[in-house]
């Protein structure tokens, strides 16, 4: 298992390096002169050149990349070109806000979709199954802001039971914060439900068809025990993998959802940075998103190997 995890960590690190290159290269594509963007159209050329030199953007790209990475590994994300304060002081709280929203969405979606997948599998090819499968598939396909609009109209406008913005008033307690985050979280849940439920359903169906399940039935075990000990243990492995890959999507969804609900999270920060051509902020924001995704994948791999004896005992690579 140690070898498996070591290999996965090494892969994640390679991916991270590649990712930093992609992020840096993409930011280089953004048009405009950095000094000119910061100082505005009326500044004279000499001060623009001077600022460009101070920022180091007049040097070759690979030198800039090296410097950027050097600062990154020391935990220095740089100064925001737009707000003239350190990027981490802006992205830190934003990331925390986003994690709150994402955590709520996950807490809701994981049990719901696993339950949905299990029910669909047990009622395979009957109406309940079709409703869950086709319904989930359809919800997954609808853009999250569209689902959110429908939810706002139902819960915020027609019944007026939930707030239509995501940001709770300052100093609000835990439950008030959760209440404000419910609608945006539901919108994310709607998109994620279909994927996770579908994978769970496939896993359960496969496990139900397996010889060991038939044996368990034939030796007279009761159904709940068979489900818990034989079916779910095997069926939930792929589910864990898909939950992790969905974090990448989840953060993309946050960009749109945070804009719709005017919620100050990392998605909104990235969007504003892109609009303002705030390179340092954009690079740092996108890189953090990538790191969160890689970390989630790594955690999933670890869980997977802990739960899967074939990997735990090193039988499979």
Partner 1 sequence: MSAITIPLQQSEARIARRETLRELGRSKTFIAGALIVGFWVFWGIVGSRLTPLDPLAQGDTILARPGPGHWMGTDTLGRDVLSRVLAGATGVLKIAPLATLLGVVGGTILGLVTGYFRGFVDEALGRLIDALLALPLIVIAVTAIVALGASNTTLVIVIGVIFTPLVARTVRAAVLAERDLDYVPAARLRGEHAPYIMFVEILPNVTGPIIVEATVRLGYAIFAIAGLTFLGFGIQPPSPDWSLQISQNYALLAGGSYWWTVLFPALAVATLVIGVNLVADGLTQVLER
Of 87, 256, 281, 311, which one interacts with partner 1 (CB under 8 A)?
A: 256
List the beta bridge partners of residue 79. 86
Q: What backbone phi and psi angles, to 5 degrees, belong to 86? A: -70, 140
Q: How far is the CB of 19 from partner 1 (least distance, A)?
A: 5
- Work out whether 249 is an interface residue with partner 1 (CB under 8 A): yes
Of 290, 300, 304, 308, which one interacts with partner 1 (CB under 8 A)?
A: 290
Cα separation, 155 vs 163, in Å, equals 8
Looking at residue 80, what DSSP letter applies? -
- Work out whether 117 is an interface residue with partner 1 (CB under 8 A): no
Of 96, 153, 161, 172, which one interacts with partner 1 (CB under 8 A)?
A: 153
244 CB-near residues (< 8 Å, 6+ apart): 296, 297, 299, 300, 301
Of 192, 199, 227, 282, which one interacts with partner 1 (CB under 8 A)?
A: 282
Q: How far is the CB of 233 from partner 1 (least distance, A)?
A: 28
**DSSP code string of 279-316:** HHHHHHHHHHHHHHHHHHHHHHHHHHHHH-HHHHTTS-
Q: What backbone phi and psi angles, to 5 degrees, belong to 168? A: -70, 155
Cα separation, 296 vs 300, in Å, equals 6
- Work out whether 207 is an interface residue with partner 1 (CB under 8 A): no
Q: How far is the CB of 216 from partner 1 (least distance, A)?
A: 30
Q: How far is the CB of 146 from partner 1 (least distance, A)?
A: 5
Q: Measured on CA atoms in the order 112, 117, 123, 127, is the torsion positive or negative?
A: positive
Choice between 13 and 85, CB closer to partner 1: 13
- Work out whether 101 is an interface residue with partner 1 (CB under 8 A): no
Choice between 82 and 144, CB closer to partner 1: 144
- Work out whether 161 is an interface residue with partner 1 (CB under 8 A): no
- Work out whether 2 is an interface residue with partner 1 (CB under 8 A): no
Going from the C-alpha of 211 to that of each of 208, 214, 231, 252, the distances in angstroms are: 8, 5, 11, 41
Of 165, 167, 177, 302, which one interacts with partner 1 (CB under 8 A)?
A: 165
- Work out whether 260 is an interface residue with partner 1 (CB under 8 A): yes
Q: Measured on CA atoms in the order 199, 203, 204, 209, is the torsion positive or negative?
A: positive
- Work out whether 306 is an interface residue with partner 1 (CB under 8 A): no
Listed ranges 17-25, 48-56, 78-86, 208-216: which one lies at the site for partner 1 (CB under 8 A): 17-25
- Work out whether 125 is an interface residue with partner 1 (CB under 8 A): no
Of 270, 281, 300, 311, which one interacts with partner 1 (CB under 8 A)?
A: 270
Cα separation, 207 vs 223, in Å, equals 13
Decide if 240 contacts 199 (C-beta within 8 A).
no
Q: How far is the CB of 253 from partner 1 (least distance, A)?
A: 8
Take residue 183 and report the two structure tokens written for it: 């609608």
Choice between 93 and 135, CB closer to partner 1: 135
- Work out whether 30 is an interface residue with partner 1 (CB under 8 A): yes
Cα separation, 79 vs 89, in Å, equals 9
Q: Measured on CA atoms in the order 33, 39, 40, 41, is the torsion positive or negative?
A: negative
Q: What backbone phi and psi angles, to 5 degrees, belong to 220? A: 90, 15
> Where does this chain bind partner 1 (CB under 8 A)?
11, 14-15, 18-19, 22-23, 26-27, 29-31, 134, 137-138, 140-147, 149-150, 152-153, 156-158, 160, 164-165, 245, 248-249, 251-253, 255-256, 259-260, 270-271, 274-275, 277, 282, 286, 289-290, 293-294
């Amino acid at each position: 298992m140690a070898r498996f995890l070591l290999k996965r960590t090494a892969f994640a690190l390679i991916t991270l390096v590649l990712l930093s290159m992609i992020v840096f290269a993409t930011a280089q594509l953004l048009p405009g002169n950095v000094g000119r963007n910061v100082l505005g159209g009326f500044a004279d050329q000499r001060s623009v050149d001077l600022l460009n030199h101070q920022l180091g953007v007049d040097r070759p790209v690979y030198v800039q990349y090296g410097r950027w990475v050097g600062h990154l590994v020391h935990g220095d994300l740089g100064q925001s070109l737009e707000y003239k304060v350190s990027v981490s002081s802006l992205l830190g709280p934003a990331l925390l806000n986003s994690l709150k929203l994402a955590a709520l969405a996950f807490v809701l979606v994981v049990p719901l979709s696993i339950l949905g997948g299990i029910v669909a599998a047990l009622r395979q090819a009957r109406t309940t199954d079709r409703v869950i499968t086709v319904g989930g598939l359809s919800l997954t396909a609808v853009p999250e802001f569209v689902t959110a609009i429908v939810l706002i109209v139902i819960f915020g406008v027609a019944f007026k039971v939930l707030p239509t913005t995501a940001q709770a008033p300052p100093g609000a307690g835990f439950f008030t914060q959760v209440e404000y985050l419910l609608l945006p979280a539901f919108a994310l849940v709607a998109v994620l439900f279909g994927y996770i439920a579908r994978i769970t359903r496939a896993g359960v169906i496969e496990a139900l068809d397996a010889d060991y399940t038939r044996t368990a039935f034939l030796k007279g075990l009761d159904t709940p025990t068979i489900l818990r000990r034989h079916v779910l243990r095997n069926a939930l492995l792929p589910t864990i993998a898909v939950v992790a890959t969905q974090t990448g999507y989840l953060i993309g969804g946050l960009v749109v959802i945070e804009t719709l609900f005017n919620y100050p999270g990392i998605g909104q920060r990235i969007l504003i940075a892109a609009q303002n051509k705030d390179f340092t902020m954009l690079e740092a924001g996108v890189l953090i998103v990538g790191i969160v995704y890689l970390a989630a994948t790594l955690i999933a791999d670890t869980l997977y190997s802990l739960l899967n004896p074939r990997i735990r005992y090193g039988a499979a690579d």
